[in-house]
Amino acid sequence: MRTLAPWFSRPPALLALLLSAPLSAQQDLEVIPVQGNVYMLQTAAAGGNVGVLPGPDGILVVDDQVPNLAEAVLRGIRRISDEPIRFVINTHVHIDHIGGNQLMARQGATIVAQENVHRRMLTRLRIPRGGGRFMPQPAEAARPMVTFDRQATFRLNGEEVQVFHVPPAHTDGDAFVYFVDSDVLHTGDVFRTNMYPIIDVYNGGTMQGLIDATQLAVDLAGPNTKVIPGHGFGFTDRDGLLEVLEMITTVRDRVRDMVGEGLWLDEVLEAGPTSDYDARWRGTESWNERDLIPIIYAEVGGAAETIRAN
Ligand SMILES: [Zn+2]
């Protein structure tokens, strides 16, 4: 009976693990008070950082994680407040920021996003990793019920919340969410503190837009502003933004200079324009400098051929 062997020969504990729901569905998110009335929900394991503004007018949420952490997002919100969830703002279209939309909509929340986020949801999604891998189209209930072009302002719970479209950076639908009274900025994935920025060319992202949008965040931030990154532990501030702005601008300038000298992409990669930053920013196997540099190279006018003809 060889055909049964691989499955039934596994140790019982492992079999139970394989048959159970993903562990992450059981996991709780950490609730972190940021400043004023704003909180963030975070997990080390996966997904984007969630912003939460509770209050008597109803809760406003910024991004809602991957689908299998949607229940964990809801539990995290409920540890902060039992008021109705009124609005969810998506900072962009990626699945680790919209994954709880359907569950939030079922709680009565209105999903809000920039128009390009909605437009991208009218077909299959793509993600920047894995060479632009396709993902299923989000269900209609997961798509924004309200969209905006340039900006939208929310006034609730004694807070003014400014949501505005930034230059095409991580994607072409990126929005910043600024809580004016609490002085907290949620940047979405335009800004992250755990690795090199992802420029999602499949969803309209650009390096120049990333620099411009990061500069916008620096200009907006004051000495007391707290900044929630799209990914990365905890929150940061204007200095955290400046560190990344300096890094991305320097790397872009180096690649541009190398293109100006006529280097081919393989020569640029060999020259290591990020080498002094790699220890801090390299990140993961699925996104590192070898993913970022070719995007910059193409954008600053590098030769279309990626490998030099020998
Ligand atoms: Zn993203």
Dist. CA 128 → ligand 1 center (Å): 8
> Is the per-residue pLDDT at 24 higher than 60?
no
Average model confidence (pLDDT) for the chain? 91
Residue 160: which residues within 8 A CB-CB, separation 6 or more?
A: 153, 154, 179, 180, 181
Q: 199 to each of 75, 189, 220, 279, 291, how far by Cα in Å?
A: 31, 9, 22, 20, 9
CATH number at residue 173: 3.60.15.10
Dist. CA 101 → ligand 1 center (Å): 15
Average pLDDT over residues 202-230: 98
Dist. CA 244 → ligand 1 center (Å): 17
> Is the per-residue pLDDT at 307 higher than 70?
no
Dist. CA 198 → ligand 1 center (Å): 7
Confidence of residue 304 (pLDDT cuts 50, 70, 90): low
Give the model confidence (pLDDT) of 143-158 as tens digits. Answer: 999 999 999 999 999 9
- Count of domains in the chain? 1
For residue 161 the two structure tokens come to 């919340």
Dist. CA 203 → ligand 1 center (Å): 10
Q: Is residue 251 part of a domain?
A: no
Give the model confidence (pLDDT) of 241-275 as tens digits. Answer: 999 999 999 999 999 999 999 999 999 999 999 99
Q: 137-146, 168-177, 282-291: which has the minimum mean pLDDT?
A: 282-291
Dist. CA 96 → ligand 1 center (Å): 7
Give the model confidence (pLDDT) of 66-85 as tens digits. Answer: 999 999 999 999 999 999 99
Q: Is residue 277 part of a domain?
A: no
Dist. CA 2 → ligand 1 center (Å): 45
Q: 51-65, 160-174, 209-223, 290-304: which has the minimum mean pLDDT?
A: 290-304
In which domain, by residue range, is 62 found? 28-238
Q: Is residue 15 part of a domain?
A: no
Dist. CA 281 → ligand 1 center (Å): 17
Number of residues written out for the chain: 310
Dist. CA 56 → ligand 1 center (Å): 31
Q: Is residue 20 part of a domain?
A: no
Dist. CA 49 → ligand 1 center (Å): 11
Dist. CA 188 → ligand 1 center (Å): 7
Q: Is residue 257 part of a domain?
A: no
Give the model confidence (pLDDT) of 119-143 as tens digits. Answer: 999 999 999 988 889 999 999 999 9
Dist. CA 242 → ligand 1 center (Å): 20
Q: Is residue 295 part of a domain?
A: no
Dist. CA 308 → ligand 1 center (Å): 32
More confident residue, 37 or 128: 37
> Is the per-residue pLDDT at 64 higher than 70?
yes
Dist. CA 199 → ligand 1 center (Å): 9
Dist. CA 65 → ligand 1 center (Å): 11
Q: Is residue 98 part of a domain?
A: yes
Confidence of residue 302 (pLDDT cuts 50, 70, 90): confident
> Is the per-residue pLDDT at 3 higher than 80?
no
Dist. CA 1 → ligand 1 center (Å): 47
Q: Determine if the pTM surpasses 0.75.
A: yes
Dist. CA 193 → ligand 1 center (Å): 13
Dist. CA 94 → ligand 1 center (Å): 5
Q: Is residue 151 part of a domain?
A: yes
Average pLDDT over residues 181-206: 97
